[in-house]
């Protein structure tokens, strides 16, 4: 039996980074898919700490909040830096990625038709901040010399932007980011996962927009 269970809607959404981390770490996990009918019935929602999914289980531990889940897995699988200072920088970058993710989610679910032009105009300025961190660190990762949960989180959000229609920021002006995306995409287990049906058949977002 796989040690972990992810309970979530039939989308990538808030689970893409943790799934990529688990695949990269060679871990097995079970997926429990919750349909709109199951969810609106209400019992599961009432049982969730904040009334939302994803839910992540490791034996008798039930965790909610996708970034808390990533932090747990980062600690468990050595992807949370090599010391306290690296862990603090990883936290900072995770929060920076979260700020960008919230803008992306707002665009997708609330402003796709009205706000995309402005979003795309502002995007290079957000991405340039991550690019600068990557260029300064010189290892191809955001922090230190090994992969961390901040890398999985940024990689996840950037994969979503790489298919955002009209988004021309594919890395030409962001050499650090371009190298980062190539490095993460070519890690053998990530490559295998991204080419699998388990990944490809699941839509990015719950409303079909991307
Ligand atoms: C939605 O926002 O997928 N959880 C979402 N929505 C249902 O009743 N801070 C935490 C975290 O990081 C945010 C959790 C997140 O973990 S994710 C949730 O639980 C609720 O609030 C986006 C997503 N949406 C999928 C979805 C929405 C509409 C169609 C598909 C409702 C849910 C599933 C079917 C109906 Fe649906």
SS3 4: strand
Is any ligand 1 atom within 6 A of the Cβ of residue 11? yes
pLDDT of the residue at 200: 97
Half-sphere exposure of 73 (CA within 13 A, CB side): 36
- Could you tell me if the CB of 16 is within 6 A of ligand 1? no
| Measured distance CA(84)–CA(68) in Å, rounded | 17
Q: How far apart (Å, rounded) are the C-alpha atoms in residues 186 and 194?
A: 10
Q: Where, residue-wise, is CATH 1.20.1050.10 in the chain?
A: 84-187
Give pLDDT, residue 173: 79
Q: Are 155 and 17 spatial neighbours (Cβ–Cβ below 8 Å)? A: yes
Q: Which CATH class is domain 4-79+195-200?
A: alpha beta
Tell me, using a 6 A CB cutoff, whether residue 153 lines ligand 1: no
Rounded CA-CA distance 47/177 in Å is 40
Q: Does domain 84-187 have CATH number 3.40.50.1000?
A: no
Q: How many CA atoms lie within 13 A of 30 on its CB side?
A: 9
Instruction: Share the mean pLDDT of the chain.
Output: 96
Note the pTM of the prediction, 2 decimals: 0.97
Read off the pLDDT band of 171 (50, 70, 90). Answer: low
Q: What is the pLDDT of residue 76?
A: 97
Residue range(s) of every CATH 3.40.30.10 domain in the chain: 4-79+195-200
To test the ligand 1 pocket, which listed residue (6, 8, 9, 36) has its Cβ within 8 A of the most ligand atoms? 9
Spatial separation of the C-alpha atoms in residues 10 and 203, rounded to whole Å: 7
Task: Write out the two tokens for 64.
Answer: 């909610």
Question: Measured in angstroms, how far is the CA atom of residue 92 from the centroid of ligand 1?
Answer: 25
Judged by average pLDDT, the poorest of 52-61, 126-135, 167-176 is: 167-176
Decide: 10 in ligand 1 pocket, CB within 6 A. no
Closest ligand 1 atom to the C-alpha of 45?
8
Strand 61-64, strand 55-58: pairing = antiparallel
């Amino acid at each position: 039996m796989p040690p972990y269970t992810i309970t979530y809607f039939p989308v990538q959404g808030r689970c893409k980074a943790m799934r990529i981390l688990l695949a990269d770490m060679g871990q097995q996990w079970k997926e429990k898919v919750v349909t709109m009918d199951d969810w609106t019935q209400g019992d599961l929602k009432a049982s969730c700490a904040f009334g939302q999914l994803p839910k992540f289980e490791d034996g008798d531990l039930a965790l909610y909040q996708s970034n808390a889940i990533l932090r747990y897995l980062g600690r468990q699988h050595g992807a949370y830096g090599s010391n306290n200072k690296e862990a603090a920088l990883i936290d900072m970058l995770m929060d920076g990625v979260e700020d960008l993710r919230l803008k992306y989610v707002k665009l997708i679910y609330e402003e796709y038709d009205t706000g995309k032009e402005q979003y795309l105009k502002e995007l290079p300025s957000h991405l340039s901040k991550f690019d600068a961190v990557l260029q300064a660190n010189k290892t191809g990762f955001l922090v230190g010399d090994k992969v961390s949960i901040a890398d999985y989180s940024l990689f996840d959000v950037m994969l979503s932007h790489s298919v955002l229609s009209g988004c021309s920021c594919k890395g030409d002006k962001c050499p650090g980011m371009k190298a980062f995306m190539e490095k993460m995409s070519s890690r053998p287990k990530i490559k295998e996962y991204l080419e699998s049906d388990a990944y490809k058949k699941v839509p990015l977002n719950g409303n079909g927009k991307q």
